[in-house]
Structure 1
Amino acid sequence: MYQSRAWTHGLFVFAWLCWSSLLIRAQDLITDPLEVIALQAVKRSLTDPENHLNNWNRGDPCTSNWTGIVCFNRTFDDEYLHVQQLILLDMNLSGSLSPELGRLSHMTILDFMWNNISGSIPKEIGSITSLELLLLNGNNLTGSLPEELGYLPNLNRMQIDENRISGSIPISFSKLNKAKHFHMNNNSISGQIPPELSRLPRLVHLLLDNNNLSGHLPPEFSEMPSLTILQLDNNHFDGTKIPASYSNMSKLLKLSLRNCNLQGAIPDFSQIPNLYYLDLSSNQLNGSIPQGRFSENITTIYLSNNNITGTVPASFSGLPKIQRLSLSNNLLSGSIPSTIWQSRTLNKMETLIVELQNNKLSSITGSTTLPLNVTVRLQGNPVCSNISLVQFCGSESKNNDNSQRLPNTNTSVCLPQTCPPPYEYSPTSPAPCFCAAPLLIGYRLKSPGFSDFHPYRDTFEKFLAPTLQLFNYQLHIDSFICEGPRLRMYLKLFPVYDANIKGPSSFNMSEIQRITDTFASWKISNLDVFGPYEVLNFTHEYDNYPSPRFALSKGALVGIVLGTIAGAVTLSVLVSLLMLKVHTRNYTAVSRRHCCQSCATIITTGLTSKLQPVCASNASLKIDGVKAFTYGELTMATNNFNSSTQVGEGGYGKVYKGILADGTVVAIKRAQEGSLQGEKEFLTEIELLSRLHHRNLVSLIGYCDEGFEQVFFSYLDYL
């Protein structure tokens, strides 16, 4: 008899341990309630006409696959899951940004790009000290930049471009010591650029073009150790000069100061070793062009629409990568050295455009034969009085050389009807007529270091495809177009070709999520010549997948599934053994009515309140911390064990969520008929379980043993 009871005790303890581990696992995968409340407030402040956020009303954000939510795979000291990323890119959302965003205190990426959100940027975002990427570009945001954004110690990238933000740049931004990217172009920002920004030790890109900035250009920028792109086009700097110290910016790759009301002389930029792109056009610059030779990387020199005098420097000759030299609409005179274009060797993908219109140039020194792919424009100069120079002085035609849809070279012989939409033939697959559904990506280079993309197309594809863990043939640039200083392109990514797969092919969802996450998390480090990039949209027509959706990692979800399966198997085995023991014992229970029927556990979450004893069982049992309860109290706690309060079920019985009279939330496990044991054995089990204490086990705090029903219960704070 003793061995039989010991065997029963062992089974019960084993079941309790398994159930405790399952409940703890469930608790570990619950989002911080404060963050849940914040997300609900975020949704209320938005208008979602396409119902992208319709699943934000169901379940838990981190475990129920809420659209746009990425959570950490681990809990913190508070044992909750926390939102790591909120990515709601290109979902046609309107409304405003809720101040409750500031409660997402563990977030690293906040992305609302390319929506229609209005209102101001909440200052509360400045309290998210973990934030690394703040991506709000492409909306209708107004108001000024909150000073509190300067309190983000981990901020790497701030993109607020293409909004309607006004006011000045807060001086507090000079404290963002980890910031590498400030993209604030295409707004209505006014005032002077704070010279304090020069203190930023890691800033790489400063894009402030198309604003209402005024005052002087800060000479302190020349002291910034990491700055590679300074783009300030279309501002109003009150006739200021370009600081001579800018010629000392050793890391500079691109300097663009077009149409900024600048005066004075052009500094000598020949000492900048890797300068790709220089645009000082449409200002009031005067004096002559410095004679120093530019970097061998230089692709573009725009000095047109100024008051520049003197001659065309011979140092413009022999630049190996030059694509565009624009000196039109100035006061240049003298001869033009033909070595500018004669010494430039071009392949079939390269072009050179030399614009010298509307100056006072009188002659050409050297050969007047134009190589292939070279265009020289001299209209409006005295030299064009020579009728033999028609190739230089003829009528101009509009140049559309940087806007092109690229041909599908590998599909010309394929039959359209065998690859119905949304599938299409992959133009560069290793096998002809490979039919697949592409992932379509709107992609834009925000400040490239060239004026003609054609020579860089292959380089771009060979760089980007391996970064995305794709073969080169899987990436196809469908089209591209120049948009001022930016280059927008339309990418098509095709699934890998597999000869064993018959019929059309498509990416699986995990592969789509991996690729979109790479783009949306800014994990692509562009080559210097391509500059910063931005994602405009994602589309995968086959799966109706307009934008990336993110959720808890697969590892965490697998853990939930495996844990649930293990618990179900364990409890099923336990029930089978207990039923066998009940049927083999000669035990007659005393009939009692209205009794507790379930084993209940409570998941401890820091609660320390003690439950008061409210009833005594037929058998005497006094254990510290474990209280006896009446059936009536538990029916009140569960609304008479209503099915709406049921949260689980196992072989031994059902689990209910209950609220006791003092407000304590508990889990109540109610034994079903056939799973009961004798009162003495039941109380012995309680005594045994009450002695189990471990930080990884839930704590038994109460029981009820009336009639044919038996209950364990404990704290429950995760539902």
Structure 2
Amino acid sequence: MLRYRLFYVCSIILMFYLVQPTEAQITAPWEVDALKAIRGSLIDPQGYLNSWNRGDPCMRNWSRVLCYNATASDGYLHVLELQLLRLNLSGTLAPELGQLSHMKIMDFMWNNISGSIPKEVGNITSLKLLLLNGNQLSGSLPEEIGFLPNLDRIQIDQNHISGPIPKSFANLNKTKHFHMNNNSLSGQIPPELSRLPSLVHLLLDNNNLSGYLPSELSKLPKLLIIQLDNNNFSGTSIPPSYGNITTLLKLSLRNCSLEGPVPDVSGIPQLGYLDLSWNQLRGPIPSGQPASNITTIDLSHNLLNGSIPGSFSGLPNLQRLSLDNNNLDGSVPSDVWRNIDFSGNRSLILDFQNNSLTNLSNPLAPPANVTILLSGNPICTSPNQLNITQYCQTTSVIVPGGSESNSTVCQPCSTDLPYENVPMSPIPCLCAIPLYVDYRLKSPGFWDFVPYEGQFQQYLSSGLSLSLYQLEVSNFMWEEGPRLAMHLKLFPNRTAFFNKSEVLRLRGMFTGWLIGDSDIFGPYELLNFNPGWYNEMLPDRTKSSLSTGAIVGIVVATFAAAAFLSSLITLVILRRRSRYSSSKKRSAKRIPMKIDGVKDFSFEELSHGTNDFSDSALIGQGGYGKVYRGILSDGAIVAIKRAQQGSLQGSKEFFTEIELLSRLHHRNLVSLLGYCDEEDEQMLVYEFMPNGTLRDHLSVRSKEPLNFPMRLRIALGSSRGILYLHTEADPPIFHRDIKASNILLDSKFVAKVADFGLSRLAPEPETEGTAPGHVSTVVKGTPGYLDPEYFLTHKLTDKSDVYSLGVVFLELLTGMQPISHGRNIVREVVAANQSGMILSVVDNRMGSYPAESVEKFAALALRCCRDETDARPSMVEVMRELEAIWEMTPETGSMASLSVTMEPSNTATPSSGSRMASSSANDHQYNMSSSDVSGSNLLSGVVPSINPR
């Protein structure tokens, strides 16, 4: 009887709540409908947009939707910004975007959105920032975008957009930034773009543009950067009028199939960067002296003749002069460095290799910071030239890395929260929680960042209204372009925490492009803004009192809470009898299993080790879920993959993956330490290593680039791990996704193969005792690493892994990506080898190396990458050849301190205290195989159902 009375009371309370007046919807109704349609066309695996179905968008603060503070003349609030940066969204862009007609910022950057750009975007006449870069968009550019009267910036780079640039874009009178690089745009650059009065940055590199270079671009009154690299303007020349663009800071036309003479740029007073390399330019180099602030001149890989002009002497900011691979003759200049101030870690590279230089104008006596490269010139074989041997070696150029801070030695910060020492704090040994920002310079005006690092910190901290000590460049890396990516830390001012309003202010500065442009640093882009822990846990301390609306909200919330609790109590009473049977059903779904060496962790232990899976512990994510850096109760640091619901497709597959990985024990394979399986939670726990992925070390211009012995050692370790999979695992395994980002490096740079999400068991023996040589399966893997024969026949073999490993070897050799801007690493190296120029593709960050060992390593890599399966070596043969190359390579003996051993394949399993690799020097930047097109990652994927032996 008591239970029914309680139910009656609860019902009355609930009815009282339900009849209260609801909040009036004051966002424009058509915009509410538009937001719901936009949400409906997107796939949101992480649930960031779940709030888009609750109440009014502007009054209820829908996630990532910013509104105007006041109602418009129509009596409604309107959407001001959509901030959907890096949310792992896919799906398409809804045409209803055009109904957000008051919006100023549309930010969908760095997601996986596909489909085309809706023409309805052209209806948003208030739009200032159109930010769609870093997606999978395709189709052509809508003509309608060309009629947006207030557009300041169009960023569609790093998509798959094709077709011509619409002539209507010549109507964008307020647009300053055209960032359309890294797409598939084709056709002629419209000469009509010369009508744009505000354009400062024209970035169209890495497309399929053709035709001629419009001379009319020289009429643009404010143009600062022309960057058109890697297009195909075959048979055309550079207009001489480009030498009259007095505002120009950077002219980059690398690899554009251009012919004709080099233009005279001496009339461009502020030119800082000139790159005309990899064309078919002919004739002499103009004698006019470039601007005094120029840092980079690259005229390499052309057909230039004549002598090196004396105008290159006396340039005080010059960092690199590249004239290699031309037909230049005469004397080697001996005073290019005479006016350069080499303080502040400044250096100068003079690359004159592979020309016809025959003598010296004067004896060479460069300062220590000057590197001169002369190999491939007759002067290096002339008996009359003395003391130039050091300049004639086949060597490479090493880009200086970042500088270390000289901060005071302090006690470690508390570990209960993600504190760090503030390096240059005016308060000694201050501990604070930073914001992490990934930031990239899209067209920097220099070749070496080190001399400009202090100036950059001053520029950016000032632009953000921060004190200089609040900004730290934790590391930086050069990327294809060249572009300069950085990991930044922003620290609060003289306190341990940012407040919420300051976090929002800083984010708005980056996402609204409110930081002023810089001549030397060029345009920038925000790659990621990670407030992490603070976004959810730090209170907003800027408000000291509550408004009337807030008080009303609290009262309403109180009633709601009371109604909810009352209903909950009722439900508990009514369902109490069924609890036991539900518990039995839930436990029946579990598949009990005990595996030696693999621990069954509790959810509570893993939650505690990651601070309740806070964003500050997040080190990677993908379609499978998220990966966290965790600290176990025994102090061991681990990587924890927490699968999102449904990604592991059921308990059977989950336990099958555990069972498979638990049987792989080798020092060159990443180890599974344990798992968690509690109701809806499924997690895998892996060892954690501090030195990142191989891909990171090949792409990052760090203080310690990998030399050849280190690279050869990594090749040996990777091969041992794969040989174990093929010959000693029981049953043998085909990895199917070998790539540089799946080869991890521990604290001693021992290589470990990771990510068995796509792996397949080798075929079982047939009745007569023999096994087929392949597994027939759907093609999966990563473009650039795929075995061509497997791709065509769907027959996966051990030689498929050999092909992928061969591509990794080519990456070790060249530093190149497998596929970059339409160029395939295998074809590039094969072409160099066939022309007898194999050493020309060797990574210039490797330093000096033994040519014979490198040539043998290149030959092995190319044999691994042969199209025909039978022509490739087996893993046993690969190991035998690598060991022979190791033995013949000088300096490998000096690697003993790095624990180089030649032990057999069945080495012991790493201990549970070992670590798993992060993708950078900072754990928070852990990004595991984010480019994997299959969605599989280091800790992801489901091994197909198997019957273990």
What's the TM-score once normalised by structure 2's chain length? 0.54
**Cα pair 1:419 1:425 within 8 Å, conserved:** no
Q: Shift in Å at residue 541 of structure 1?
A: 2.9
Equivalent position to 2:59, from 49, 52, 63: 63
Residue aligning to 2:854: none
Q: Shift in Å at residue 526 of structure 1?
A: 2.2
Residue aligning to 2:196: 200
Amino acid at match of 2:464: L
Greater relative contact order (Cα < 8 A, sep 6+) = 1
1:316 paired to 2:312: yes
Residue aligning to 2:499: 508
Distance in 2, matches of 1:359 and 1:454, equals: 30
**Cα pair 1:447 1:530 within 8 Å, conserved:** yes
Q: Give the alignment of 1:277-316 within 5 angstroms.
A: 277-316=273-312
Distance in 2, matches of 1:88 and 1:390, equals: 57
Equivalent position to 1:543, from 519, 530, 534: 534
SS of 2:342's equivalent in the other structure is: coil
**Cα pair 2:320 2:447 within 8 Å, conserved:** yes
1:33 paired to 2:49: no
Do the aligned partners of residues 567 and 44 (structure 1) sit closer, same or farther apart at CA in structure 2, a change above 3 Å counting?
closer
- 1:538-594 deviation line (CA, Å, top 9, x unaligned): 112323669x9xx9xx99x989x335659999xxxxxxxxxxxxxxxxxxxxxxxxx
Amino acid at match of 1:396: T
**Cα pair 1:47 1:94 within 8 Å, conserved:** yes
Residue aligning to 1:532: 523
1:494 paired to 2:491: yes
**Cα pair 2:498 2:534 within 8 Å, conserved:** no
Q: Give the alignment of 1:76-475 within 5 angstroms.
A: 76-385=72-381, 386-401=385-400, 403-404=401-402, 406-410=403-407, 413-416=409-412, 418-419=414-415, 422-475=418-471
Distance in 2, matches of 1:545 and 1:285, equals: 57
Q: Shift in Å at residue 377 of structure 1?
A: 0.7
Distance in 2, matches of 1:197 and 1:162, equals: 22
Q: Shift in Å at residue 293 of structure 1?
A: 0.7
**Cα pair 2:105 2:128 within 8 Å, conserved:** yes
1:43 paired to 2:39: yes
**Cα pair 1:437 1:541 within 8 Å, conserved:** no
Count of matched residue pairs? 531
**Cα pair 1:423 1:542 within 8 Å, conserved:** no
Q: Shift in Å at residue 517 of structure 1?
A: 0.4
Distance in 2, matches of 1:50 and 1:426, equals: 33
SS of 2:164's equivalent in the other structure is: coil
Do the aligned partners of residues 35 and 558 (structure 1) sit closer, same or farther apart at CA in structure 2, a change above 3 Å counting?
farther
- 1:138-175 deviation line (CA, Å, top 9, x unaligned): 00001111111111111110000000011111111111
SS of 1:173's equivalent in the other structure is: helix
- 1:188-236 deviation line (CA, Å, top 9, x unaligned): 0011111111111111000000000000000100111111100000000
Distance in 1, matches of 2:545 and 2:166, equals: 46
Q: Shift in Å at residue 301 of structure 1?
A: 0.4
Of all paired residues, the percent bearing the same amino acid is 56
Residue aligning to 1:54: 50
**Cα pair 2:413 2:419 within 8 Å, conserved:** no
Distance in 2, matches of 1:100 and 1:278, equals: 44
Do the aligned partners of residues 140 and 436 (structure 1) sit closer, same or farther apart at CA in structure 2, a change above 3 Å counting?
same
Distance in 2, matches of 1:82 and 1:300, equals: 48
Amino acid at match of 1:562: T
Distance in 2, matches of 1:462 and 1:545, equals: 30
Do the aligned partners of residues 363 and 176 (structure 1) sit closer, same or farther apart at CA in structure 2, a change above 3 Å counting?
same
SS of 1:506's equivalent in the other structure is: coil
SS of 2:469's equivalent in the other structure is: helix
Q: Shift in Å at residue 395 of structure 1?
A: 3.3
Distance in 1, matches of 2:41 and 2:290, equals: 53
Amino acid at match of 2:507: T
Distance in 1, matches of 2:405 and 2:52, equals: 41
SS of 2:80's equivalent in the other structure is: strand
1:562 paired to 2:548: yes
SS of 2:331's equivalent in the other structure is: strand
Distance in 2, matches of 1:558 and 1:488, equals: 42
Do the aligned partners of residues 123 and 91 (structure 1) sit closer, same or farther apart at CA in structure 2, a change above 3 Å counting?
same
Amino acid at match of 2:191: P
Distance in 1, matches of 2:531 and 2:551, equals: 34
SS of 2:357's equivalent in the other structure is: strand
Q: Give the alignment of 1:659-670 within 5 angstroms.
A: none
**Cα pair 1:342 1:371 within 8 Å, conserved:** no
Q: Shift in Å at residue 417 of structure 1?
A: 6.1
- 1:468-489 deviation line (CA, Å, top 9, x unaligned): 1211000000001111321111
Do the aligned partners of residues 568 and 218 (structure 1) sit closer, same or farther apart at CA in structure 2, a change above 3 Å counting?
closer
- 1:82-120 deviation line (CA, Å, top 9, x unaligned): 001111001111111000000000001100000010010
What's the TM-score once normalised by structure 1's chain length? 0.71
**Cα pair 2:51 2:63 within 8 Å, conserved:** yes
Distance in 2, matches of 1:362 and 1:562, equals: 86
Do the aligned partners of residues 458 and 545 (structure 1) sit closer, same or farther apart at CA in structure 2, a change above 3 Å counting?
farther
Do the aligned partners of residues 541 and 423 (structure 1) sit closer, same or farther apart at CA in structure 2, a change above 3 Å counting?
farther
Q: Cα RMSD (Å) of the superposition?
A: 2.5
**Cα pair 1:232 1:257 within 8 Å, conserved:** yes
Distance in 2, matches of 1:239 and 1:321, equals: 34
**Cα pair 2:152 2:175 within 8 Å, conserved:** yes
Distance in 2, matches of 1:527 and 1:362, equals: 42
**Cα pair 1:108 1:132 within 8 Å, conserved:** yes
Do the aligned partners of residues 49 and 273 (structure 1) sit closer, same or farther apart at CA in structure 2, a change above 3 Å counting?
same
Q: Give the alignment of 1:702-717 within 5 angstroms.
A: none
Distance in 1, matches of 2:110 and 2:554, equals: 46
- 1:420-471 deviation line (CA, Å, top 9, x unaligned): 5522112221233321111000000000111111111111111111221211
Amino acid at match of 1:388: N
Amino acid at match of 1:39: L
**Cα pair 1:410 1:432 within 8 Å, conserved:** no
Q: Shift in Å at residue 398 of structure 1?
A: 4.5
Do the aligned partners of residues 337 and 400 (structure 1) sit closer, same or farther apart at CA in structure 2, a change above 3 Å counting?
closer
- 1:349-379 deviation line (CA, Å, top 9, x unaligned): 2111111000011122224112021111111
**Cα pair 1:437 1:540 within 8 Å, conserved:** no
Distance in 2, matches of 1:34 and 1:566, equals: 27
Distance in 2, matches of 1:190 and 1:558, equals: 58
**Cα pair 2:307 2:331 within 8 Å, conserved:** yes
Amino acid at match of 2:548: L
The structure that has the greater radius of gyration is: 1
Do the aligned partners of residues 80 and 341 (structure 1) sit closer, same or farther apart at CA in structure 2, a change above 3 Å counting?
same
